[in-house]
Amino acid sequence: MSDTHQKKQEEPKNIVNPVLAGIAGAVAGGVAVASAIALSDKKTQKQVKQVLTNAKDKAIGYMENMQNQAQDKMGEVKKQVKKAANSL
């Protein structure tokens, strides 16, 4: 027997981790500072570009990993909720 008058909880439309937002801000700030410093020297420009590209790639990888983990957890919770609802 189920209660048909219960409201379904809405799923969050956008999951943003504060850590990811902080990383993105740090990368953006680093780009601004590094570009201001490195504009005059070509060798330094190449080194800074490589470092920033590596940092960006790591941040993107971390963000994708966190999104996948969040989706996996949401899937597990949904299964547990359905299982609990069916057992009532």
State the DSSP code for 39.
Answer: T
Q: Tens digit of pLDDT for each residue in 36-86?
A: 766 667 787 788 788 888 988 888 888 888 888 888 888 888 888 888 888
The C-alpha atoms of residue 56 and residue 53 are separated, in whole angstroms, by 5
Q: Within a domain: residue 7?
A: no
Q: Within a domain: residue 83?
A: yes
Structure tokens at 26: 């740090």
Domain around 50 = 18-87
Residues 6 or more apart whose Cβ sits within 8 Å of residue 30: 52, 55
Q: Within a domain: residue 51?
A: yes
Q: Within a domain: residue 13?
A: no
- On the question of pLDDT at 34 being above 70, the answer is no
Total number of domains constituting the chain: 1
Among residues 9, 29, 12, 30, the alpha carbon closest in space to that of 67 is found at 12
pLDDT of residue 39: 65
Q: Within a domain: residue 69?
A: yes
pLDDT of residue 14: 59
- On the question of pLDDT at 13 being above 60, the answer is no
